[in-house]
Amino acid sequence: MSARTIVRAGAALVASSALIASGVSGTAGAPAGKKAPEPSPTAIGHGGAVSSVDADASRVGLEVLERDGNAADAAVATASALGVTEPYSAGIGGGGFFVYHDAETGEVSTIDGRETAPSGITQDGFIDPETGEPYPFSPELVSSGVAVGVPGTPATWEAALRDHGTWPLAKTLAPSIALAAKGFTVDETFRQQTLDNAERFAAFPDTAELFLPDGDAPKVGSRFRNPDLAKTLAHLAAHGTQGFYRGPIAEDVAATVQEPPIAAESDLPAPAGSMTVDDIAAYEVRRQAPTHSEYRGLDVYGMAPSSSGGIAVSEALNVLEGYELDGEANLAQSLHLFLEASAVAFADRAAYVGDVPDVPVETLVSQEFADSRACTIDPDQASERPVPAGDLDPGDGQCPTVENIEQPDTENISTTHLSVVDQWGNAAAYTLTIEQTGGSGITVPGRGFLLNNELTDFTAEYDPEDPNRIEPGKRPRSSMSPTIVLEDGEVRYVVGSPGGATIITTVLQVLLGRIDLGMTLPEAVAAPRASQRNTAATPAEPAFIDAYGDTLEPFGQVLEPSGDEFTSAAEIGAVAAIERDEQGRLTAAAEPERRGGGTAYVVNPSPR
């Protein structure tokens, strides 16, 4: 970092500190004189609610709501705090999807802040020129410059505040600047995620210096500080997001992507990317209509492409609309139908959804199309998978199908989600990510944040018929599924999760658990999960196999462990959700155990 950059960053940090002192406490806690509530995965009450995977981040969102910030203000503040405390899942080096309900207008809108491929990427960008074969997914492609997309998170924050917020960016960033400077307490999850990535983190000196001090992951109970990130966020607070997309930070990002700063003794190839400062300066979010479908009299809204989440969740719900699901009388059949509807949705996702022109969104989320797909499902017997995709023009045919497009499942599980509802009934569902746990593993020197490896979500080998093909300026297809459900025009549920391709099935399963299977929202969030993604066997958490394996066997459903039961790979999702009932009472629910458990808060808790 140049001396001039250090001086400017320091000046910005001083300016932001003044904002903290005058407007927001910046301590990730309650306003002066009010004791911060104890972290809990469930909170019930009124006046606004926030749910996320992290207690510090949820406290930041709560503080904004207590100070009369709205759902957009609280969502941006919570997201920036998650970039501090969950740096391996989110941060300004990544992207995400933002869904918002405006209570005054009744409208639901979205912001696509997905990362984009640089203009210099080629069709063979993921092909090793020495072998002619695709780079091995891990570690070569994962930990590389060629996998880094132009970050969209800062632009998403700016757009969300401009469209819906009442606070300026500087004020929303103040708590996370203080959190990065003062530090947070390391928990077991943070330490274990660091250890899991220690080998590749060690290959990048700046990453190793930040996350592996003295060659080891930070100890549980120790305080983790990131002064470089505090300075970077302060720079954004002082200069707006143009301070990220133009100028010294953009120059540092481009240089890091083009020449990944690899340790001399490392044998990690870390292929270079082509991203330039012009690519970064050209980044724009997309504002587009949400996906919309109806289920059991509820209006379900989600993200349109470049995410496949809204389409897949809506299609699966539409397929299930014609069945009577029940948590007592026919639980086993209900779960069987959930798995079958998921397989169908994933077949159509692979065939039709990507960042390409004319994705048939309206057809894919229509009840007519879902009915043509439901007729391929046997309510008593598992299908032979992979099931083929559906014909977009079924005509008078009997369940017509088309040839499959084979899709490798490379989306990584490490992402994060937050849900917010404010005192006026506005709501935000925001899922953000840097892809792999730890992203690319590359920390921008002197800036304190990791770069994403999001371009690995493209199909590695170019196929002109594949809607998820690599092309300059394109956004890789995502499964992120931030979802807002309305009843009679008012917010009923706000739901989302991390988990790569399992996000879709996780959101779907939580909605079914709450709406159809007789569960409370906290029960639906905590329930054991399975994730059928059009594969012969269904990956499932050990608890799901123990609870339902025998009852699903007569249906021909084959379950397999979702990962080693002693690692986080066995966990499917980490939901953050909120329910608002007809009286306006809020139930905020976060994961009680997965990823170490999340935290939910309400502004005015109900007496227990």
Task: Name the catalytic one among 189, 415, 483, 587.
Answer: 415
Consecutive H or E run containing 431: strand 427-433
C-alpha closest to that of 384 among 357, 411, 404, 359: 404
> For the chain, how far is it from start to end, CA to CA, in angstroms?
53
Burial classification of residue 558, based on how many CB atoms lie within 10 Å of its CB (0-12 exposed, 13-18 middle, 19 or more buried): middle
- Of the candidates 232, 188, 177, the one whose C-alpha atom is nearest the C-alpha of residue 60 is 177
**Around 267, how many Cα atoms within 13 Å sit in the side-chain half-sphere?**
0
Phi, psi of 408 (to 5 degrees): -70, 145
Question: Is 110 annotated as catalytic?
Answer: no
Q: Which residues pair with 101 in a beta bridge?
A: 108, 427
> What's the rounded Cα separation, in Å, for the pair 69 and 53?
21
Sequence-distant (6+) residues with CB within 8 A of 152 are: 94, 95, 96, 112, 113, 114, 115, 116, 283, 285
H/E segment holding residue 48: strand 42-52
d(CA 259, CA 204): 11
Beta-carbon contacts of residue 73 (< 8 Å; ≥ 6 apart): 64, 161, 165, 166, 167, 171, 172
Note the Cα 587 to chain centre separation in Å: 21
- Indicate the DSSP class of residue 141: I
- The beta strand positions in 228-343, using DSSP E, are 286-288, 291-295, 298-302
What per-residue string of b and e applies to 147-171 under the rule 16 or more CB within 10 Å gives b? bbbbbbbbbbbbbbbeebbebebbb
User: In DSSP terms, which residues pair with 579 in a beta bridge?
Assistant: 493, 587
Based on its alpha-carbon atoms, the radius of gyration of the chain, rounded to whole angstroms, reads 23
Task: Please report the sign of the dihedral spanned by the C-alpha atoms of residue 58, residue 60, residue 63, residue 68.
Answer: negative
Of 411, 409, 376, 379, nearest to 390 by C-alpha is 376
Q: How far is 201 from 541, CA to CA, in rounded Å?
A: 29
Residues 593, 599, 604: CA angle, nearest 5 degrees: 140
Rounded-to-integer distance, Cα 98 and Cα 117, Å: 20
Q: How many C-beta neighbours within 10 Å does residue 15 have?
A: 14
Annotated catalytic residues are 415
